[in-house]
Amino acid sequence: MRSWIYLILLFLVSTSNLQAQALHAKYGSEFLRVGGGARALSMGSAQAGLANGVSAAFWNPAGLRSVNDIEFMYMHTERFGGIVGFDYGAVAVPISNNEAVIALSFFRQGVDNIANTLDAWDPNRGLNGGPKADVEQYITRFSATDMAWLISYASKIGVNNKPIYYGGSFKFVRQKLGPFAQAWGYSLDVGAQGNYGDWTWGVQWIDATTLRKIWTVDDEQFEGFEEVFGDTQPSGTNEYVRPSLRLGIARTFRFKEWDISSALDLVSLFEGREAYYLNLGSWSLEPRLGVEGLFRERLALRLGLTDLYEDPLSGWTMHPTMGLGVRLSQVQIDYGFMGFAGSGTELDLTHRVSVKAWWRK
């Protein structure tokens, strides 16, 4: 345990010294807000106090303590009418005579088949320039991808034999804009869960060490950029994403053959999202609500609300979510759906499907 504390302190010191030399990225880790698992989307992403199983590595790593067998999960989702694809995979394994759990998670978001027209423009054609003859042969295609890896740990033993549990995730981020630019980043998430009477609570400190990203640019790809377009050629830089905090409470009770779970999360961000959201200066607050009804531990029905904000056209609004899950033997299939409200209806719908499997050693 002492070596882990030293390592965390090293991360804190190194990132705080580098912030003075880096740029603040307001939406620098936005792709990770999609999360892992269709169950979470169905419940409005209210998971801090309720997260369990392999997907807890993202929502609150302390929730990994519920893993007793080897668990696998894969998820695919499409956003904005299929333009953006998102894939997630994870595995969790109990260790140390079932006193702790480790997990490995992978995320990829991508927009593929983007047209690169940098070589298709002739500045000397006509008065203001124009496309080259046979322009199609000068157009190439590339992908913009965001990837992340989480290495997570959770203890199954309560702190001082109390029902308070902890966990953490080392996070590594890789972003790539075709052949033009790429970045590496790293940070640490920490979380805790506990019980208070019939309630469970959870807290997750996201990017506790601050997410630092180092961007590099391929200068050869921008050869002649300034002459053709009259803009300054991009250059590599360092970015950092400020920590955020997820707090949650949840309660589960029995009603005949149903287990009913309700959850509330409050997500605090400190990066200056002043437009539309509940905010006080650079601090913004995002509430999330979710409920799940589980019938005989086989069939789950879920509802939720997320993304409370003030739409300039339709006023205050929230995005409704819903979904269901079916467990058959050692496999569980979940589906989640979110429809955009207000002026966001033009963004189309979000569908998410995940498959979870158990393997008993």
Give 135-164 pLDDT, tens digit per residue.
677 677 778 889 999 999 999 998 888 889
Residue 130 makes CB contacts below 8 A (sequence gap 6+) with 121, 122
Which has more pLDDT, 302 or 315? Answer: 302
- pLDDT, residue 311, reads 67
Q: How many helices (H) and strands (E) does the chain have?
A: 4, 20
Task: Count other C-beta atoms under 10 Å from residue 217's C-beta.
Answer: 17
Residue 108: which region, alpha, beta or left (left: phi > 0; alpha: psi -120 to 50)? beta
Please compute the mean of the pLDDT values over residues 188-215 and round it to a whole number: 93
Buried b / exposed e over 18-56, threshold 16 CB at 10 Å, is eeeebeebeebbebbebbbbbbbbbbbbbbbbbbbbbbb
Which has more pLDDT, 299 or 6? Answer: 299
Query: What's the pLDDT band for 21 if we cut at 50, 70, 90?
Result: very low
Query: What's the pLDDT band for 64 if we cut at 50, 70, 90?
Result: very high
Query: What's the pLDDT band for 76 if we cut at 50, 70, 90?
Result: confident
Buried b / exposed e over 291-315, threshold 16 CB at 10 Å, is bbbbeeeeebebbbbbbbbeeeeee
Decide: helix, strand or coil at residue 38: helix
Residue 30, token pair as written in the block:
């936005």
Q: Which CATH class is domain 2-359?
A: mainly beta
Statement: residue 19 has pLDDT above 60: no
Residues 324, 332 contacting (CB under 8 angstroms): no
Domain ranges (residues) in the chain: 2-359
Query: What's the pLDDT band for 7 if we cut at 50, 70, 90?
Result: very low
Residues 142, 178 contacting (CB under 8 angstroms): yes
In angstroms, the CA 282 to CA 293 distance is: 37
Q: What is the pLDDT of residues 249-287, one digit of tens each?
A: 999 999 999 999 999 999 998 887 766 567 777 888 889
- pLDDT, residue 45, reads 93
Residues 275, 269 contacting (CB under 8 angstroms): no
Residues 192, 202 contacting (CB under 8 angstroms): yes
Concatenated DSSP letters of 54-123: TTHHHH-GGGGGG--SEEEEEEEEEETTTTEEEEEEEEEEEETTTTEEEEEEEEEEEEEEEEE-GGGEET
Q: What is the pLDDT of residues 33-50, one digit of tens each?
A: 888 999 998 999 999 999
Q: What is the pLDDT of residues 303-345, one digit of tens each?
A: 999 887 776 676 777 789 999 999 998 999 999 988 654 444 4
Residue 210, token pair as written in the block:
């601050």
118: amino acid identity, one letter: L
Residue 89 makes CB contacts below 8 A (sequence gap 6+) with 72, 73, 74, 75, 105, 106
Q: Find the angle CA(117)-CA(123)-CA(127) to the nearest 5 degrees.
A: 130
Provide the whole-model pTM: 0.82
- pLDDT, residue 184, reads 93
- The two beta strands, 23-24 and 238-241, are parallel
- pLDDT, residue 194, reads 95
In angstroms, the CA 168 to CA 192 distance is: 9
Decide: helix, strand or coil at residue 14: helix
Statement: residue 217 has pLDDT above 50: yes
Least confident of 30-39, 122-131, 174-183, 326-335: 122-131
Query: What's the pLDDT band for 127 if we cut at 50, 70, 90?
Result: low
Which has more pLDDT, 194 or 29? Answer: 194
Statement: residue 228 has pLDDT above 70: no
Residues 24, 240 contacting (CB under 8 angstroms): yes
